[in-house]
Structure formats: structure tokens, C-alpha cells
Amino acid sequence: MKYLILIPALALAACSTKNDVAMNASYQRGVADAEIARMDAIKEIAKQGDTGAVAAAMMLQGNPSSKPAAPRSGGDNALAWAGVIVPSLTQGVGIAVNGAVTAYQSKNGTDVAIKNSDNDAAVAIDTNSTMATIAETTIVTPEVVTSTNTNTITCVTDASYDCE
């Protein structure tokens, strides 16, 4: 990531060359010459003495004609490209990081769900085992008891046996 930041910084560090400086000086000289010529023209219009011409000359002083575009240096081109590339890289890195976070959260969610399922199964098995032990200790097997003391027979009746 550090290298991605370092590359545009190095590209923009050495943007001006001697040719760029000479080209800019020539451009500035041309703009100054054009402004001098414009002011000379306004001065000649104002010398006519006509009220409308003087008013036009005054309006032209405040409204310079459109200037030609300044020449573009290598630094300007590099800056324009950086303005396109840097936001795209930033978005790409952000999307990749968000994808990694989502995948990590999904894996953690799966691990938690599996652990919860294992815990629920263990609780169910323990509950079933406990209930079976309780059932074994509380259920009494029915028995038929007979007594012959006084010729009286005592009979215990359950679902599988009925006394007659």
C-alpha cells in the first residue's frame, strides 16, 4: 500500500523542466503583449471624444477579452492523470477490504453456528439421558401378590393383568 502512495508522489515531484519554464515565460510575455495592445486600442477609442465611444472604451477596460489557454506542462498532465487514477485506486482498495471483512464475518458466523449446534446437541443428549434415568427409578413393575391366610386372595390389577 505504501508503494501505491509513493509512486504518484514521485511522479509529481519532478514536474517542471527547463522547457516548461521557457514555455510558461513565453506564454506570459504573449499575454502581457496582448493586454498592452488591448489597452492601446481602448486609448485610441477614447481619444475620439464621442460619448458612446468613451463609454465603450470604459466598458472594455473592465472586460478583458478571452485569454488563450496556458500551455500544459508535464506536471499538469501528471496531475490530471492522478486525479483520475487515485480515486479509482481508492475505490478499488475499499471494495477489496470490504469484501475481505464480509468473508471474515461470514466465516466467524459459521463457526459460531456450528458451536451452538454442537452445544444444543450435547444438552439434548444429556437431557434425554437424565430423563431415562428418572424413568427407570420411578416406574414400578406391577406384581401380582397372592395371600392364602384366610382363604382370601388379594389381586393387583394393571393394564396387562386383570383379576377374575
Indicate whether 29 and 68 sit together in one domain. yes
d(CA 134, CA 136): 5
- At 8 the pLDDT is 53
The count of domains in the chain is: 2
- At 105 the pLDDT is 95
What is the reported pTM? Answer: 0.35
The answer to the question of residue 144 being in a domain is: no
- At 70 the pLDDT is 67
Q: Which residues contact 16 (CB under 8 A, 6 or more apart)?
A: 73, 74, 75
Domain that holds residue 65: 17-72
The answer to the question of residue 3 being in a domain is: no
Indicate whether 41 and 62 sit together in one domain. yes
Indicate whether 56 and 98 sit together in one domain. no
Indicate whether 78 and 61 sit together in one domain. no
d(CA 11, CA 85): 13
The answer to the question of residue 153 being in a domain is: no
Q: Which residues contact 90 (CB under 8 A, 6 or more apart)?
A: none
- At 27 the pLDDT is 83
- At 1 the pLDDT is 52
d(CA 81, CA 8): 9
d(CA 51, CA 57): 10
Indicate whether 62 and 90 sit together in one domain. no
Task: Split the chain (164 residues) into runs of 10 and give each run's mean pLDDT.
Answer: 53 63 82 83 77 72 61 80 92 95 94 92 89 77 60 66 66
The answer to the question of residue 118 being in a domain is: yes
- At 142 the pLDDT is 67
- At 79 the pLDDT is 87
- At 45 the pLDDT is 76
d(CA 128, CA 134): 10
Burial 127-157 (b: 16+ CB within 10 A, else e): eeeeeeeeeeeeeeeeeeeeeeeeeeeeeee
- Phi then psi for 52, rounded to 5 degrees? -65, -40
- At 133 the pLDDT is 84
With residue 85 as reference, give the H or E element that holds it. helix 74-138
153, 146 in Cβ contact below 8 A?
yes
Closest to 42 measured CA to CA, from 33, 55, 28: 55
- At 19 the pLDDT is 75
